[in-house]
Amino acid sequence: MEQIFSKYRPVALSLFRFITGLMLFQFGVAKILKIPAESPFAKVELMSLYGAAGMIELTLGGLLILGLFTQPVAFILSGEMAFAYFISHAPRSFFPVVNNGSLAIALCFACLYLATAGGGPISLDAMLRKKG
C-alpha cells in the first residue's frame, strides 16, 4: 500500500490544503458577504468578534486556497480555530459532539498540519520557489 499511494502524497497535500482553505473561506463568505442569506452566520455584525473571525477566514482562507504564504497563514488559522472552539463551543459542553465544535477542532489541527507540511506542489508558494 505504501508504494502505491506514496507517489500521490504531494498532490494529496495540495488538495488537502485547497479543501481546508475552501472550508474556512465559506465561513468568511457567510459572515462577511452574507451568502447564503439563510445561513445562521448571515446575521453576524461586521464590527464584532464573529465579524473579525469572518474577515480572517475570508482573507486567509482565500490565501490558503491559492497556496500563498501557506505556512504562516495556516498557523494563524489554526490559532483562530482553537480560539473559536474555546470561546464559542467549549462553554456549551465538554463534549464536542454536544457543543458542535468538532469542525473547529478538525480545522484547527488540519491547519496546524499545513503549517508544518506546507502547501504542496500545486500552490503559488511552489510556483514562486521555482522562479526564485
pLDDT (tens digit per residue) in 71-108: 999 999 999 999 999 999 999 999 999 999 999 999 99
* Band of pLDDT at residue 60, cut at 50, 70 and 90: very high
pLDDT of residue 73: 98
Q: Quote the percentage of the chain above a pLDDT of 90.
A: 95
pLDDT of residue 110: 98
pLDDT of residue 7: 95
Grid cell digits, residue 87:
470561546
44 vs 105: CA distance, rounded Å: 21
User: Residue 132 pLDDT more than 90?
Assistant: no
Q: Where are the domains of the chain?
A: 2-131
* Residue appearing with cell numbers 482553537: 82
